[in-house]
Structure 1
Amino acid sequence: MESLMPNMVVEWIPYSNLENIKYLTKGGFSEIYTADWINGRYEEWDFEKKQLERLGTSKIILKRLENVESVNKSWFEEAKSHLTISNKWAEVVQCYGLTQNPSNGNYMLVMYKLNMDLRKYLQQNHNKLTWKRRINITYEIIRALYFIHDEKAIHRDLHSGNILYSQLDNSWCISDLGFCGPADKSST
């Protein structure tokens, strides 16, 4: 995978560069952890030093698929979906790369950490939401789905738990491409 933008470089992230790893939740087929990524992702090219500069310590999400004793084809298909689609479209949660827990051999996706999912957002803001804001949220979700479909893929497991909100730029992204796949492939 090639990128001309430093913040879109996909990389192998040594597990030793991750700190404060904490269990967050369990999804349908994965466990989700939060962590701090020491040095963080690449941010920009330093023309004087002639090297990529890093952002600094960043909060990230680690996603480990359950019941995968050894990496299998479906795990790599999810990784491929995340890496290909998320680094092309800002409307899909960015995946920075992969890591491996040396204590158990589990591979994990390293992903951008957003603030909350749509379910929690609606619970906290239900009485404050204007119709204009509701329509805007719907528009952003549709736009993200459009980009996934533009890649000839279908999400296959869209629900409020994997539509995520960023307070930083007041935007919505789609995550959890675990069932995402080619539009012409059955979902069995």
Structure 2
Amino acid sequence: MIEGWTSGNNDIDKFIKDTIYDARNTNRGYAKLLEWVPFDRFEDVKQIGEGGFAKVYSAMWIDGNTSYEKQDDGGWKKEKPKPKKVALKRLNGSQDMSAEYLNELKIHWKVFVESLRLSLEFYGVTKDPETEEFMMILDVAQKGNLRTFLSS
């Protein structure tokens, strides 16, 4: 499940692998984990927002997120992938993935995993091939943006 891919950054690879090794069952019956997704798995990428440290895009994720359903024997069964509309949050200046940017990924992951209420899903990480900047793969906030979502 985790062999044969790389983000090109050892720290990102380790972070993603750690989420896979520590995958947790959710109340929706599937494991919470991050995945590395090549940028060519997204279509119809359009900018929908911009802040001081990031630009946000909507996109259609061709394969959708990998879901694993918990089985009665304690194992996990991979479900058939389905296309999914997502938000891509491009971290400005993240080409070298400094400790600051990696920490932002970890904070988003911690909020997602430990959230007691339904939060925006954090599916994984990709890389913009033109800018070489890393992008978080998130749910599209139905109420506009993460700040608005969290205040509702």
Normalised TM-score (structure 2) = 0.69
Q: Which amino acid aligns with 2:120?
A: V
87-96 or 70-79: which moved more? 87-96
2:113 corresponds, among 87, 102, 113, to: 87
The equivalent residue for 1:116 is 143
The equivalent residue for 1:13 is 37
Q: Work out which of the two has the higher radius of gyration on C-alpha atoms and give 1 or 2.
A: 1
Aligned equivalents of 2:40, 2:118: Cα separation in 1: 30
Query: How far 1:39 sits from its partner (Å)?
Result: 1.8
Matched residue pairs, number?
Answer: 122
The equivalent residue for 1:36 is 60
The equivalent residue for 2:130 is 103
Query: How far 1:14 sits from its partner (Å)?
Result: 1.4
Asked whether the equivalents of residues 7 and 42 of structure 1 are also in contact (C-alpha less than 8 Å), the reply is no
Q: In structure 2, do the counterparts of structure 1 residues 68 and 14 end up closer, same or farther at CA, with 3 Å as the change threshold?
A: closer
Asked whether the equivalents of residues 100 and 106 of structure 1 are also in contact (C-alpha less than 8 Å), the reply is yes
Q: In structure 2, do the counterparts of structure 1 residues 10 and 68 end up closer, same or farther at CA, with 3 Å as the change threshold?
A: closer
Query: How far 1:101 sits from its partner (Å)?
Result: 1.6
The equivalent residue for 2:93 is 67
Query: How far 1:29 sits from its partner (Å)?
Result: 1.3
Q: In structure 2, do the counterparts of structure 1 residues 4 and 91 end up closer, same or farther at CA, with 3 Å as the change threshold?
A: closer
Q: Which amino acid aligns with 1:99?
A: T
Q: In structure 2, do the counterparts of structure 1 residues 45 and 4 end up closer, same or farther at CA, with 3 Å as the change threshold?
A: same
Structure with bigger RCO (C-alpha 8 Å, 6+ apart): 2
Asked whether the equivalents of residues 35 and 62 of structure 1 are also in contact (C-alpha less than 8 Å), the reply is yes
Q: Which amino acid aligns with 2:54?
A: S
For residue 93 of structure 1, give the secondary structure of its aligned residue in structure 2: coil
Aligned equivalents of 1:23, 1:99: Cα separation in 2: 16
Aligned equivalents of 2:70, 2:58: Cα separation in 1: 29
Normalised TM-score (structure 1) = 0.57
Q: Which amino acid aligns with 1:163?
A: T
For residue 117 of structure 1, give the secondary structure of its aligned residue in structure 2: coil
Aligned equivalents of 1:87, 1:36: Cα separation in 2: 24
Greater share of residues in helix? 1
Q: Which amino acid aligns with 1:78?
A: E
Query: How far 1:71 sits from its partner (Å)?
Result: 1.6
Gaps of 5+ in 1: 119-160, 165-172, 175-188
Gaps of 5+ in 2: 1-18
Give identity over the alignment, percent. 22
Asked whether the equivalents of residues 56 and 88 of structure 2 are also in contact (C-alpha less than 8 Å), the reply is yes
For residue 83 of structure 1, give the secondary structure of its aligned residue in structure 2: helix
2:148 corresponds, among 138, 163, 167, to: 163
Query: How far 1:69 sits from its partner (Å)?
Result: 4.3
